[in-house]
Structure 1
Amino acid sequence: MGLHRLLCFLAAVTGFQAGDAALRNVIDDQITAALESFRTHMVDGWPELGIPPLDPRLAGKSYYQPSLHGSLTNLTINQLSTFTIDNVHSNILFLTVDVSLGLPMLDFAGNYDVRGAIDILPIYGTGPFWMDAFDLKMSIAIKLGETEVGLGVSKLDLNFDANSTDVHFGNIMGGGDMEDFVNGVLSSLGPDILQALEDIYVPWLEEALRKEINDILHGSSRDSKDETVNDFFDLLFANMRQSIIENGQDPLSLPSDSDNFTVLLFNTTMEGEVSVSGGHLAGLSTVHRAGNMTLLYVGEQDEVIWGGEVGLIDLEADYTFGLALALFGKDLEFALKMSYVRLSFETDLFLHQANVSFAHCNVTELGPLHFKEKGAGPLDTPLYNILANTLLGELKGLVTSAVEGVICSLLEGAFASS
């Protein structure tokens, strides 16, 4: 039980493509590289894993028992390394990768020995055998997680689906016209034969793919010892800054608002109102990482927790304020400058859920505040100071809400698109 930290992987396997509004990650490229490495190694196999060469593959003896009893011997499987990489899509938030591969044709050749019957039709024969499987689709579902050596493949499932098969048993039923007739009947056995071969072949493929992917992930981490999850967020915030500028969110328009207040003057309680309008907040495009980011994985609960501190610097909010106290009313122009703003966030995400959620995402600190005004004139009195403090509190609340709304929304969007 307990939390397991997944270290040193996102920076090595994730990143951005300049100009994209949505977060992109190059773990797709790493998986593609692993598939290409898998392709080149198929001719030699993986002796350290006890996996023999896979293309061509001499499968030895393979039994099949659909409606017949028989065996295939000296079986050779060819052209598996001609697969095409149709799609690789990773979700770094959910730590999953889905891969689609295509294979125009896979051919099998060997010798057969069969005895039995299909319905009432007796079948027998011994001789050469070949089968072509056309337009195969291979799907690979990968789940990343913590392994003994760090982040790697915790689960990998590979499935085949053939569009059609062409089966031929030479000299079946003694050859001649009966051979052509029976081969037509036996063509229905293609999926059963293919499934029998998959049962032997797929475990090797899955183990070899797992090794190639882990070698890429672990190799990247070894070559990038100084990179951690922090580097991932540095890239995320670089992309976020560009998105804020391109979407016209710096400066950001602030909403109008109003509030009532009371002050005690000359032993008299007086009621007033403050209103704000025409506001803008500048500086959101300074968003950056303000400390070490964390990525925790709770394996027992299948939960991923991202967290950290986000910073902004040199923010400035401009507003027009309306003050009303007793019979007095006046408009002021205020500018509030903040040396820095800090926001803390933490996700609360279970991998079986589809939506991104936050345990919290809120402003935790506003740095030293400085404000200036225009239009106060004779209000530069103790009364003005009371009113100014009321305005300052109102403006701090508006700025806090604006920063939380924009930054938390961008974080959610970045995670959801990843």
Structure 2
Amino acid sequence: MGLRRLLCVLATVAVLQAGDASVRNVIDDQIIAALESFRNHMIDGWPELGIPPLDPLVLPEVRINVTSGTTHLHGSLTNLTINKMSTFTIDRVQSNILFFKVDVSLGLPMLDFAGNYDVGGAIDVLPIYGSGPFWMDAFDLQMSITIKLGEAEGGLGVSTLDLNFEANSTDIHFENIMGGGDMEDFVNGVLSSLGPDILQALEDVYEPWLEEALRKEINDILHGSERASKDETVNDFFDLLFANMRQSIIENGQDPLSLPSDSDNFTVSLFNTTMDGEVAVSGGHLAGLSTVHRAGNMTLLYVGEQDEVIWGGEVGLIDLEADYTFGLTLALFGKDLELSLKMSYVHLSFETDVFLHQSNVTFAHCNVTELGPLHFKEKGAGPLDTPLYNILANTLLGELAGLVTSAVEGAICSLLEGAFGSS
């Protein structure tokens, strides 16, 4: 499967949960499918990768050399069998398609280990020694998996995969250590503190197999996915992203959007006379932000050499209306005016500039590119159809259009940044 099609997989949005404002993308379902395939293959292993069956997993020998406080244990565990690794639960899969990152949480109620031991060591100044059967149970394990996607196998796949275990508690027993009897019970009680360290020594052996097998299963799922064309899938993602954005704008009371107060000085020339004026605005509102939508084909570009992702496109809003109260002073003319500016549409262009090794969203640009036909209406000036009034009206229209442009850029760019960060 080519890089272009794999980008499509990542950009497709599959499910919008009822009553949930978050966007769930199709990569979540692909990772879940890969985990289930991984579970099914654990009984047979992956001979082509040199990975043995993982449930049960049999290890001929594992060397251990662990210390906890004043307790030290060294030696070997042989004919070790690990059971129940395939009983994991899939607790969370959360992908961020902007940064091509997936976080996975798995749970394991229990792993049981059994085999033979031959160890020596010490508890403070007390030597310990023994050989024979042993068993260990690890309870309530949590597995966290961090997956980074990038160039892999000629396309986009798993570039790195890190897996970590954490056990809530362990129960360990070395049979006949120190000759058995009361000493056996005492030493096993003390060695229980070494359970997490012994578990870590075992994980160091089988974790690389788990990571390699998971990497293969995920890549197989991604490379085998059949999706629509790139433009369609990227557009699908943004259509649902903007649907969520519209809902969020309404729920958060951002339509109408409050506009900032401002003031400015200006100069006009009329009949060879130059006059200085001042305009102050307050009580402004902008209605129509919840009409945000995709205004053309969106684009997605992955630059593998630089580990960079570039999203871009044009955002549209329709039927916007801005209302302001203006205080206007010019020569002997002083008025408080109520002004309304209607715009048939507004277009905003954006392009992200994101490097996957970073954690923040930046924009190469995000700005209004076009204001549709403007319809200007005022109340309070009276019958002033004069050259002076026309100059004032044009001045106010320019001021108001600039304020609306800044407000739209600030609101939409901020919403885009938030949407990307949570998607």
Residue in 2 aligned with 1:222? 226
Residue in 2 aligned with 1:123? 129
The answer (yes or no) to whether the contact 1:18–1:239 under 8 Å persists in 2 is no
Residue in 1 aligned with 2:69? none
- Return the alpha-carbon distance in structure 1 between the equivalents of residues 342 and 253 of structure 2: 20
- Return the alpha-carbon distance in structure 2 between the equivalents of residues 258 and 171 of structure 1: 88
- Return the alpha-carbon distance in structure 2 between the equivalents of residues 14 and 280 of structure 1: 36
- Return the alpha-carbon distance in structure 1 between the equivalents of residues 329 and 181 of structure 2: 107
Residue in 2 aligned with 1:363? 368
Picking from 268, 272, 286, the partner of 2:277 is 272
Residue in 1 aligned with 2:163? 158
57 and 389 in structure 1: CA distance in 2 versus 1, 3 angstrom threshold: same
- Return the alpha-carbon distance in structure 2 between the equivalents of residues 70 and 378 of structure 1: 100
Picking from 256, 262, 266, the partner of 1:261 is 266
What amino acid maps onto 2:35 in structure 1? L
Picking from 381, 395, 398, the partner of 1:393 is 398
- Return the alpha-carbon distance in structure 2 between the equivalents of residues 340 and 279 of structure 1: 19
What amino acid maps onto 1:293 in structure 2? M
The answer (yes or no) to whether the contact 2:261–2:281 under 8 Å persists in 1 is yes
188 and 256 in structure 1: CA distance in 2 versus 1, 3 angstrom threshold: closer
The answer (yes or no) to whether the contact 1:16–1:236 under 8 Å persists in 2 is no
- Return the alpha-carbon distance in structure 2 between the equivalents of residues 117 and 406 of structure 1: 65
Residue in 2 aligned with 1:337? 342
Q: Secondary structure at the match of 1:52?
A: coil
83 and 377 in structure 1: CA distance in 2 versus 1, 3 angstrom threshold: same
Residue in 1 aligned with 2:70? none
| Stretch moving more, 179-188 or 239-248 | 179-188
| Stretch moving more, 182-191 or 345-354 | 182-191
407 and 5 in structure 1: CA distance in 2 versus 1, 3 angstrom threshold: farther
- Return the alpha-carbon distance in structure 2 between the equivalents of residues 157 and 8 of structure 1: 25
What amino acid maps onto 1:154 in structure 2? S
Residue in 1 aligned with 2:317? 312
How much does 1:392 deviate? Answer: 1.3
Q: Secondary structure at the match of 2:417?
A: helix
The aligned runs of 1:274-313 (5 Å cut-off) are 274-298=279-303, 302-313=307-318
Q: 1:142-187: per-residue Cα shift (whole Å, max 9, x none)?
A: 2222323543221111122334444445566776777667656765
The aligned runs of 1:10-409 (5 Å cut-off) are 10-12=10-12, 16-21=16-21, 25=25, 27-64=27-64, 67-73=73-79, 75-112=80-117, 114=118, 118=122, 121=127, 123-125=129-131, 127-170=132-175, 190-191=195-196, 193-219=198-224, 221-225=225-229, 227-298=232-303, 302-330=307-335, 332-351=337-356, 353-374=358-379, 378-409=383-414
Q: 1:322-368: per-residue Cα shift (whole Å, max 9, x none)?
A: 54443234455443232321112233444555443333322122123
Q: Give TM-score, length-normalised by structure 1.
A: 0.82
How much does 1:8 deviate? Answer: 1.0
Give the unaligned 5+ runs of structure 1. none
What amino acid maps onto 1:160 in structure 2? F
224 and 59 in structure 1: CA distance in 2 versus 1, 3 angstrom threshold: farther
Q: Secondary structure at the match of 1:263?
A: strand
Q: Give TM-score, length-normalised by structure 2.
A: 0.81
How much does 1:403 deviate? Answer: 0.5
Q: 1:255-294: per-residue Cα shift (whole Å, max 9, x none)?
A: 3434333332222223334444443322211111223333
The answer (yes or no) to whether the contact 1:320–1:333 under 8 Å persists in 2 is yes
- Return the alpha-carbon distance in structure 2 between the equivalents of residues 321 and 179 of structure 1: 89
285 and 218 in structure 1: CA distance in 2 versus 1, 3 angstrom threshold: farther
How much does 1:19 deviate? Answer: 4.1
The answer (yes or no) to whether the contact 2:143–2:164 under 8 Å persists in 1 is yes
199 and 391 in structure 1: CA distance in 2 versus 1, 3 angstrom threshold: same
- Return the alpha-carbon distance in structure 2 between the equivalents of residues 182 and 346 of structure 1: 64
- Return the alpha-carbon distance in structure 2 between the equivalents of residues 281 and 124 of structure 1: 80
What amino acid maps onto 1:44 in structure 2? D
375 and 77 in structure 1: CA distance in 2 versus 1, 3 angstrom threshold: same
Q: Secondary structure at the match of 1:8?
A: helix
Q: Which has the higher contact order (CA 8 A, sep 6+)?
A: 1
107 and 380 in structure 1: CA distance in 2 versus 1, 3 angstrom threshold: same
Q: 1:346-395: per-residue Cα shift (whole Å, max 9, x none)?
A: 33444555443333322122123233445655422333322221111111
- Return the alpha-carbon distance in structure 1 between the equivalents of residues 235 and 198 of structure 2: 50
How much does 1:13 deviate? Answer: 5.3
How much does 1:36 deviate? Answer: 3.1
47 and 256 in structure 1: CA distance in 2 versus 1, 3 angstrom threshold: same
The answer (yes or no) to whether the contact 1:13–1:30 under 8 Å persists in 2 is no
Q: 1:217-272: per-residue Cα shift (whole Å, max 9, x none)?
A: 444x5244454333222211111111122223223233343433333222222333
The answer (yes or no) to whether the contact 2:351–2:364 under 8 Å persists in 1 is yes
- Return the alpha-carbon distance in structure 2 between the equivalents of residues 71 and 6 of structure 1: 44
309 and 148 in structure 1: CA distance in 2 versus 1, 3 angstrom threshold: farther
54 and 238 in structure 1: CA distance in 2 versus 1, 3 angstrom threshold: same
Q: Secondary structure at the match of 2:8?
A: coil
What amino acid maps onto 1:358 in structure 2? F
Q: Secondary structure at the match of 2:98?
A: coil
276 and 146 in structure 1: CA distance in 2 versus 1, 3 angstrom threshold: same
405 and 19 in structure 1: CA distance in 2 versus 1, 3 angstrom threshold: farther
What amino acid maps onto 2:78 in structure 1? L
Give the unaligned 5+ runs of structure 2. 67-72
271 and 5 in structure 1: CA distance in 2 versus 1, 3 angstrom threshold: farther
